[in-house]
Amino acid sequence: MDQLETATLAGGCFWCTEAIFKRLKGVNKVTSGYCGGKSDNPTYDEVSTGSTGHAEAIQLGFNHDMISYEKLVKIFFHLHDPTTLNQQGNDVGTQYRSAIFYHNDRQKKIAEKIKLKIESEKIYAAPIVTKIVPYQNFTKAEESHQNFYALNRTYPYCQLIIDPKIRKLLQLVPTLLK
């Protein structure tokens, strides 16, 4: 029997994180949305103002017998810049913050352990600013944001920002790809 689990991650633009995690074996579902804010059912336009407190995030449904939560968190830390506060590249604002929204104590402990390990290995020159916080109120983004990369490969943002992340993923974990 499949062992399904949920993970919720915010690493900048959800188009980028969705495109990365959809490629992993054992990840059955990836939904782009908004998490960690103070209003129910926010819209993209509302979140983009930075006033709702939400982060652009993805929610994963994954089979932890095929891919562990630990592996997902490691990939997360290596495929975005966890050292920039409220920013990923040219995307600036609290909605682009780096955060792990843990669903239980086990996820919290794993995320904290991996964050400390990466910091101790000095992979990044600056300190990691990723927040590890309790999961709250994920809202699915509008349909136009779901599966964005696959449907808009020629969009300049996809070519300039997402394509290099996917190439890095191919180098980092080729055996975990679908």
For each of the domains in the chain, give its residue range(s) and CATH number, in order of start.
Answer: 4-176 (3.30.1060.10)
Query: Over pLDDT 90: what percentage of the chain?
Result: 88
Choosing from 13, 16, 35, 158, the catalytic residue is 13
Distance from C-alpha of 65 to C-alpha of 13, rounded to nearest angstrom: 28
The mean per-residue pLDDT over the stretch 103-113 comes to 98
HSE of 88, CA atoms in CB hemisphere, 13 A: 27
Q: Which residues pair with 29 in a beta bridge?
A: 61
Q: Is 35 a catalytic residue?
A: no
pLDDT range class, residue 2, cuts 50, 70, 90: low
Phi, psi of 142 (to 5 degrees): -55, 155
Side chain identity at residue 130, one-letter code: T
What average pLDDT does range 35-52 have in this prediction? 93
Predicted confidence band at 39 (pLDDT cuts at 50, 70, 90)?
confident
The model's pTM: 0.95
Sheet with 98-102, side-by-side order of all strands: 131-134, 98-102, 4-11, 55-63, 27-35, 139-140
Does 98 have pLDDT greater than 70?
yes
Quick one: 152 exposed, middle or buried, by C-beta within 10 A (0-12, 13-18, 19+)?
middle
Q: Does the pLDDT of residue 61 top 90, yes or no?
A: yes
- Indicate whether 172 pLDDT > 90: no
- The pLDDT of 68-93, averaged and rounded, is 94
- For residue 1, pLDDT beyond 50: no
Can you read off the two tokens belonging to residue 150? Answer: 């696959």
What average pLDDT score do residues 101-116 get?
98
> For the chain, what is the mean pLDDT?
94
